[in-house]
Structure formats: structure tokens, C-alpha cells
Chain A
Amino acid sequence: MGTKEEVKQVIVHLLKVRPEEVKDGQSLEQSLGVDSTEMVEVVIALQKKFGVQLAEKEVAKQHTVEQIAQVIDSKRNA
């Protein structure tokens, strides 16, 4: 499974939404109406899952799953 799919899985599990609700090309805010408090949970869950530190600005509700996956991949490869 690619990073993008794994990120999606974390979000689906955490927010209790259906996988098809997380739409490609849309930010988490656009597709799911994620608010800033939910985003805190998402960032903590992603840090645990991938073992990387993520800053608030790097992973935000304005980002798509793809963008988040890219940030995580670049940190893992660094």
C-alpha cells in the first residue's frame, strides 16, 4: 500500500467517515469539513503511524491526502 492510501486509511479510521468521502484533489476541509481540532488528532495519528514529526503548517486541513503523503514521504526519505 502506498503512503497516500495509508494516510487515507488513518483518516477514515480516526474520523469514522466512509473511504469514498475522502475525495482526490480536494482538501480535507473541502471533502470532509475537517475542523482545526480534528486536524490536531489527524496530525498526532499520522505521527504515530509513520514515526515522523509533522509541524502544524506542513499538514493542515487545507491540504489534500496526496499533499500530506508527499510531506510524509519526504520526511521518511530525508
Chain B
Amino acid sequence: MERVAVTGFGIVAPPGIGKKPFWANVKAGRSSVRKIERYDASLYPCHVGGMVHDLDVYSHVSSRLLQKIDPFSHMALIASEMALKDAGIDLSKENLNRVGIFMGNALGGWLYGETELRDLYIEGREGVSPYMASAWFPAAPQGQVSIYYGIKGYSKTVVSDRASSLMAVGHATKVLQKEKADFILAGGMEAPLSPYGLLCCNTNGELSTKNDPPEEAYKPFDRQRDGFVPAEGAGIMILEGEERAKKRSACILAYITGYGTTCDGVDRIKPNPDGKEAGRAIRMALDQAGAKPVDIDYISLDGAATQEGDVGEVAAIRDVFGAAASKVPASVPKTMFGNLLGASGAVDMITTLLAMEHNMAPPMLNLKEVDPACKGLDYVTDKARPVEIKKALVISRGRGGINAALVMEKA
């Protein structure tokens, strides 16, 4: 079975659009979580988040197209363009029937949806844009990227809450291993900070309500944690078979060597705090990668910042890693910019790729006093730590007990 290489990526996230500003802020441990002031969100239990600014400055998308799509598609288009450029791919020389798009998303395009719903109730049927039908749903960005570039190969959108994009990458890897595509744009995008989108996120009870100061709201594994903070953005990578990547002299950033996914099967929202199924997903990923726990140099944690989420995740790692658990640097870089929900796994992968490139484990913020039930891991706090990362584990979990784990190996 052929190894799958990552040969480029595009990132649109609160710390920055493009790899340089993104990494500069992440490496420095700078928070980009702020109070949401695009509209009056002050009465929402959680009214802080990670926002992307200046999208227009980086956009190559025409205003004619922009009025037909939601911001989550816009961010996916920008990240895709960056990823293709980063990988040095000229689509005019590719067989577009053999190019795929695998995306993860949890919520769909609510800003477009809720604006048109308002118009429906105020102006009636004729007030609704005919593009509503194609703008709001989770697979819209996949369609828009496909139309924009004329990509026609095997593609899929995965909707699995916060595990969506890591699962999309996992599926894309399998498709490439079976040589059903030449290369794949894989990742995710999310825009949950619209008035109704944020309200929905608030109702699931997993968001932090410690709004002041915003930078300190998201504190997974801490005794004082009370949930995560939502964020918007997109992260898209170019995945291709090793042979093809080498043949075209592409810069191989890393290989995806293992992937595993399981379900807890216990509750419609909460994960199982025993972490057994999360552990089984991690074990599957490690086994497929042919890696032992001691081989892993960095763990990018899911860090839900909920009681069951945190305790279960640590239990899973302790179960799989045993004595090695306390020796592997681990962190939740999302504490700096918020959780991008369906796009979070892809963004965690991209952060890990940058960590591998720069030999630096990215930090997590706000871990002042570790919850006694979450002890036993080597948390990288506040400042990036110089570490040579050859193999890394990325964990992503979603509501209802969805677990996904992926192993990457530096080229």
C-alpha cells in the first residue's frame, strides 16, 4: 500500500491567514480569542470566539460569486487556493477526473441561511435568494471548490461534529492508498459565529461562559475549565501518493501513516469518560502506522474542556501509552484561537506540520492547575518548547462520542 504524503496546505484561522502569520502567533503563544462584537452577542452565555479578519484582503473570489456563497465556502476557497500554490500544483496539467475533494464541516453556512430566513419572514418567498438552496448546507464548500477548479474526481463531505475534518482526511488517505485519485484537497471549514449559529453552539452546553477576559476562557484539563470557545476558519491540505509526489519533486511535509476511528455509543452529547473507545481509535492509528507509543514525539490533544471530554481523553492516552504517557509533549494549540469545530482536526494537523518543520511543540494557554483526574501528561504550557518531532498523534473528537486519531510522520 502506498504511503500518503502531505505536500502543501492553506490556513485561514484567527491567528492569521497564511502559514507565516499563523505560525508566528501560535509559536509565540498569543491568544486571538476576543469578544464577539459583529452584533450584540453580550447576552449569549458564551460571547467570545476566534474570529477571522480581513478575509477580503486575501480573497481571489469575485464579488459576483461572493454574494452566492456563505463565508465558510469563501474561507474554503481561499484555503484551497493557498494549498494548491503551496504544493506547487498547476491544475491545467492535471487529470481533473482523478482529483478529489474531502472536506469536514459540522454546522453548514448559517450566516447565509439565517439572513435569508429573516428575509423570508419579512419579505415573503420572493425575498429569498435563489442561492439559498446551494449556499447553506455542509457540502456547499466541496461543491464550490469543485466548480471553481473544475475538479471532478471522487469527493466527499464528512459531517461528524468536531471530528469531521480529521475523519475527512482519514477517508481521503484511504482513497489515495487504494489509488482511486491522483491527489486530494482535504481538510475542513467552519463559520459558527453568526447570530443563530452561535446561539445553537451555546445550547449544547459545551461552551465556556467565562467570557472575561476572553483570552482565558478556553482552559482544557484545568480544574477551572468549563467548556471550549468556538472559532471560524478553514484548513486544507494537499494529499498525494508518495511516488507521485517524488516524481514531480514536490516538497513532502509529512506522511499520514495511521488513522483510526470509533464511536462511544453511550450518550447523544457526552463522550464516555472511561476513554476506552477513544483509546481504541488511538491504538488503531498507531498500529496502522507501525508505531509504538514511545515513538510518538508530540500529541495534539482534542481538549474539549468538558469534564467527560478531558477525563476520557487523558484516560485513553494513559491506557494506550502506559508509562510513556508522561514523557510525550502534548498540547491544545486551539486554546489560543478557539475550536474550529468541523475544521478543528485539519487545523490541528496543520499546526502539527508547522511544529514538525520548526522543531517546536506549540503551547496551550490557561492551564494553571491541572485537574487531578487529568494528571499524567506532559502538557506544553504558555510557551512553545523546542522538540524534534518525527512522529505525531492528532486526536479529534465530536459530540455523541465520535473518536478519530491520526498519526503523521515527518518526511
Chain B residues 118-135 with CB under 8 Å of chain A are: 126, 129-131, 134
Q: Is the CB of B130 within 8 A of A15?
A: no
Task: Answer whether residue A41 sits at the interface, using C-beta atoms and an 8 A cutoff.
Answer: yes
**Which of chain B's residues has its CB closest to A36's CB?**
B130
Is the C-beta of A17 less than 8 angstroms from some C-beta in chain B? yes
Q: For the complex, count residues of B whose C-beta is within 8 A of A.
A: 11
Residues of chain A lying within 8 A (CB to CB) of residue B68:
37
Interface string of A27-46 (1 = CB under 8 A from B): 00000000001101100100
Which residues of B (141-166) have their CB < 8 Å from a CB of A? none
Residues of chain A lying within 8 A (CB to CB) of residue B97? none
Residue in A closest to B63 when the chains form the complex, CB atoms: A16
Asked if A16 and B67 sit within 8 Å, CB to CB, the answer is yes
- Selected contact of B126 from candidates A15, A37, A44, CB within 8 Å: A44
Report whether B129 and A16 are in contact in the complex, using a CB–CB cutoff of 8 Å. no
Contacts of A37 in B (CB 8 A): 68, 130-131, 134
Chain A residues with CB below 8 A from B64, complex form? 15-17
State whether A40 touches B130 (Cβ < 8 A). Answer: yes
In the assembled complex, B249 has its CB within 8 A of some CB on chain A: no
**Are A41 and B62 in contact, with the CB atoms below 8 A?**
no
Q: How many whole Å from A52's CB to the nearest CB in chain B?
A: 14
> CB distance A41 to B129 under 8 Å?
yes
Query: Which chain B positions have C-beta within 8 A of A44?
Result: 126
Q: Mark A16-29, 1 if CB is under 8 A from B, else 0.
A: 11000000000000
When C-beta atoms are compared, the residue in chain B nearest to A47 turns out to be B126
Q: How far is the CB of A45 from chain B (nearest CB, A)?
A: 10
Asked if A16 contacts B62 (CB within 8 A), the reply is yes
| Alpha-carbon separation in the docked complex, A44 to B127 (Å) | 9
Q: Nearest CB to that of B131 among chain A residues?
A: A37
List residues of chain A with CB within 8 A of the CB of B63. 16
A73 to B198, CA, bound (A): 48
Chain B 170-207, CB-CB to A under 8 Å as 1, else 0, gives 00000000000000000000000000000000000000
How far, in whole Å, are A17 and B62 apart by their CA atoms in the complex? 9
Nearest A residue to B129, CB-CB: A41
Contact mask B309-334 → A, CB, 8 Å, 1/0? Answer: 00000000000000000000000000
16 pairs, CB–CB < 8 Å, chain A vs chain B: A15-B64, A16-B62, A16-B63, A16-B64, A16-B66, A16-B67, A17-B64, A37-B68, A37-B130, A37-B131, A37-B134, A38-B130, A40-B130, A41-B129, A41-B130, A44-B126
Beyond the given A37-B134, A41-B129, A44-B126, please list 4 additional residue pairs across the A-B interface where CB-CB is below 8 A: A16-B62, A16-B66, A16-B67, A17-B64
A residues at B contact (CB < 8 Å): 15-17, 37-38, 40-41, 44
Q: Identify the B interface with A (CB < 8 A).
A: 62-64, 66-68, 126, 129-131, 134
